[in-house]
Structure 1
Amino acid sequence: MGVRAGVVVTGTEVLTGRVADRNGPWLADQLRRVGVDIADIVVVGDRPEDLRDALAFLAGLDLIITTGGLGPTADDLTAEVVGQFQGRASALDVQLEVQIGGIVERLMVGRGWKTDSDATAAATRKQAMVPEGASVLSPVGTAPGLVVPPAVGRAGPPVLVLPGPPRELQGMWAAALADPLVAAALSGREELRQDTMRLWSTPESELSAALRRHSHELAGLEITTCLSDGELEVVTRYAPAAQPAYERLTAALTGDFGPALYSPDGRTVDRIVAQLLLERSWTIATTESCTAGLLAGRLTEQAGSSAYLLGGLVTYSNLAKHELAGVPLELIDRVGAVSEEVAEAMASGARWRLGADVGVGITGVAGPDGGTADKPVGLVHLYVVAPGQSLSRAVNLPGSRSDVRQRTVAIAMHMIRSVLSS
């Protein structure tokens, strides 16, 4: 089956959803890159018994990784609990205490903070407590990492203990992989490939039917699908020996779905739009009402976006639509702000005001209030205009205000892609 690892994400703030887990998915991807399959990601609160139960649940794997719980406060108990689980008592590492103390002092001076010396010393000692026989990974912040093997005579995998802040965890990852205990645990790893294809406006039922039709050709592929904002992502994991099967999958989905398979190589719509704009040396500008700049913001997420995005107008009121984007007030009075005609005028206004090649207009009712019988909540009009071409679309989107706005931006990105690809 190859080498398998499990991850325990600690922290009540993560468990209760106050903080999103960024470490589990990042570690899963990094493990896959080095040929290690992820078996489980378990999230637990700051309760020692729950952490022990999670470690016991994953004890049959080749490596366990924990994240978080290495700080100086009373609820940071990961190092101690992992040591107990592995049958190793913890003791003060004096050299590590001095190292952490120096880091803390520099941080305090840099921030201009005055702290109680006794409290700081106690916190530093807590972070310098190391299970007997563990390897220490040098801190990126103030918390060291640890590699804790099971006590002599006890079975089980080593536990790699990493800090919770993503910057610190990611900065420690190379050193963690280079640790002899971790390297030995992962010594049987094999290449594990992962490729992604993306489809737009394709029902999951149609994709499922296609996969069933071609199932006899796809041995050795682990295929997962995910639907988000109208986009279907097909992620396939496989060993090198199954490369021909993956090529058959690509050919089959291309034949079945044609242009709907807009990204057979895994590129996101954001990346494709950026590349198309750069290839044409075109610029783009937006006028947004219900999305209030979210589309312009998304267009800036690609590095180098200043080469093609000139700017965006947020025109929530009718007067702003007129004064900023040049939409005639009589047009708004005649057809209403939420209409194809106004979306077109907003797109044209963005081009005219900002001197862009491509203009996008968005106007709609995001809710939860403001809808009417003729223009209900979720109705959005979008318009994209470019040299010699244009594209209009009206949609009725379900969900919350946030859902409507997010889905609208996704639709706009694909409309821009469609215009640029034609």
Structure 2
Amino acid sequence: MRVAILSIGDELLSGEVTDTNASHIAGRLYDCGARVFRHLTVPDEEEAIAQALTELAAASDAVIVTGGLGPTPDDYTAQAAARAAGVELELSQEALDHLAEFEKRIARPLHPANRRQALIPKGCRLIPNPLGTACGFVVPLGGAQLFFLPGVPYEMERMLAETVLPELAGRLPAPWRRITLKVFGIPEAAISERLEGAIEADAPLQLAYCVKYPEIHVILRAATADAAHLERAATEVRKRLAEFLFAEDDDTMDLVLARQFRESGLTLALAESCTGGMIAARITAVAGSSAYFLGGNVTYSNAAKSRMIGVPPELIERHGAVSAEVARAMAEGARAAEGSDLAVSVTGIAGPDGGTPEKPVGTVYIALADAGSCRVERCNFQGDRDRVRSITCFTALNMLREHLLIRHGAAVRN
């Protein structure tokens, strides 16, 4: 089955918005056994949309379209769909009823402009939208079925899952199985070298790498009928990447760490300088983190390091705020201040300014303190300010994961 995706919106072509919809659709289709053969993005222009619809319909069995179903004058998708299908727009009573019900649900009147969303190509079939004002619709064009969905991601994802994929299911081949192994701390080239010969040359599998900075995902895919080959290959890959593997499939570093803390019964405190609270934000993004996360201090200035967590001013004066000595004092001070079992601190130069020949931009010290010791690591990260802060955060979380795994036997799926 040939499936195409059409994304609509000036904001996608200007770079103001990243097209996460197309990625989500392609991934869900792949899991169902269909591979997208083409993806187009066009601006909010009726002629461009209509031309793309005609072109894709001629080469596809199904086209999934997102965007341009809103209530504003630059939303041309319905008009373009009608133009491509050679029909008029008509006011749909079903769509109007949906708008009325939505208005009742949110307990406030909808703007009159929303009535434009009830204008759809004549004779088409609606796709329910349980989360928003814009119903989708299905338009037959040539031998293809065109599925029109709103551009709002959470609305689109729900409608895709509940209507579009079930409708396509009977026409799709057998679904694929996928195992995603997530690794950190090893470059892509080194992963490839370690995995040389891990998969038999004639095995009915696909091996792919996906960089999601600072993680690297090793992806194994196989048809459902070849599940045994997939499991054997995954076992071998796990063995070869064991010391770098932190999660699989839908698991994340944050979820793995949360599970480790719950199982270990230990508590945590933080002291952050260059990351400005990023580590605390990731930890508290997981529900239930209050059971083990006692508190975090953003000690950005030297004065704050001394005032909030007791770092001696003379220590900062002697060694500098970005130093192993200050990182250690920050971790031990945070642990004492919160009364936690563990504490992590970070202090570094994220840039773009502030570097020196001895401590260039990207120099970061990360410390992890427990009751008996304090481990400090100096890291030399590359990239701009955002990348340095991002990888600092991830490295600190990974240090915690390794500590819990090795010293306290907290389980993690590897």
Q: Do both proteins adopt the same fold according to a TM-score greater than 0.5, normalized to the shorter chain? A: yes
- The structure 1 residue matched to 2:121, chosen from 128, 131, 139, is 131
| Structure-2 separation of matches of 1:374 and 1:290 | 18
- The structure 2 residue matched to 1:243, chosen from 202, 207, 227, is 227
Identity between Structure 1 and Structure 2 (%): 37
Amino acid across the alignment from 2:160: W
- Write out aligned runs for 1:74-93 (5 A): 74-93=73-92
- Once the two structures are TM-superposed, the CA of residue 67 in structure 1 deviates from its matched residue by 1.2
| Structure-2 separation of matches of 1:74 and 1:300 | 41
Cα-to-partner distance string for 1:172-195 (whole Å, 9 max, x where unaligned): 3344238xxx72575233222121
Distance of aligned partners of 1:66 and 1:204 in 2 relative to their CA distance in 1, 3 Å threshold: same
Q: Equivalent residue of 1:42, what SS?
A: strand
Amino acid across the alignment from 1:68: G
Cα-to-partner distance string for 1:4-52 (whole Å, 9 max, x where unaligned): 5322221112222222333223323333444433334433221234334
Q: For residue 191 of structure 2, what is the aligned residue in structure 1?
A: 207
Q: For residue 262 of structure 1, what is the aligned residue in structure 2?
A: 246
Unaligned stretches of 5+ residues in structure 1: none
Q: For residue 148 of structure 1, what is the aligned residue in structure 2?
A: 139
Q: Check if 1:393 corresponds to 2:377.
A: yes
Q: Equivalent residue of 1:249, what SS?
A: helix
| Structure-1 separation of matches of 2:241 and 2:168 | 45
| Structure-2 separation of matches of 1:250 and 1:135 | 43
Distance of aligned partners of 1:388 and 1:245 in 2 relative to their CA distance in 1, 3 Å threshold: farther
| Structure-1 separation of matches of 2:331 and 2:242 | 29
- The structure 2 residue matched to 1:177, chosen from 156, 164, 167, is 164
Q: TM-score scaled to structure 1, two decimals?
A: 0.87
Distance of aligned partners of 1:228 and 1:71 in 2 relative to their CA distance in 1, 3 Å threshold: closer
Q: TM-score scaled to structure 2, two decimals?
A: 0.89
Cα-to-partner distance string for 1:281-327 (whole Å, 9 max, x where unaligned): 11111100111101111111222212121111000111100111111
Contact 1:198-1:233 within 8 A present in 2 as well: yes
Unaligned stretches of 5+ residues in structure 2: 407-414
Amino acid across the alignment from 1:132: K
Cα-to-partner distance string for 1:201-223 (whole Å, 9 max, x where unaligned): 22211222344433534632222
- Once the two structures are TM-superposed, the CA of residue 99 in structure 1 deviates from its matched residue by 4.1
Q: Equivalent residue of 2:36, what SS?
A: strand
Amino acid across the alignment from 2:82: G
Q: Give the number of equivalent residue pairs.
A: 404
- Write out aligned runs for 1:15-164 (5 A): 15-56=13-54, 58-59=56-57, 60-100=59-99, 103=102, 110=108, 120=112, 123-140=113-130, 141-150=132-141, 154-155=142-143, 157-164=144-151
Distance of aligned partners of 1:362 and 1:161 in 2 relative to their CA distance in 1, 3 Å threshold: same
| Structure-2 separation of matches of 1:405 and 1:213 | 36
Amino acid across the alignment from 1:344: R
| Structure-2 separation of matches of 1:47 and 1:218 | 48
| Structure-1 separation of matches of 2:355 and 2:180 | 39
Q: Equivalent residue of 2:80, what SS?
A: helix
Q: Equivalent residue of 2:364, what SS?
A: strand
Distance of aligned partners of 1:198 and 1:103 in 2 relative to their CA distance in 1, 3 Å threshold: closer
| Structure-2 separation of matches of 1:129 and 1:265 | 41
Contact 1:389-1:419 within 8 A present in 2 as well: no
| Structure-2 separation of matches of 1:142 and 1:314 | 42
Q: For residue 411 of structure 2, what is the aligned residue in structure 1?
A: none
Q: For residue 331 of structure 1, what is the aligned residue in structure 2?
A: 315
Contact 1:158-1:185 within 8 A present in 2 as well: no
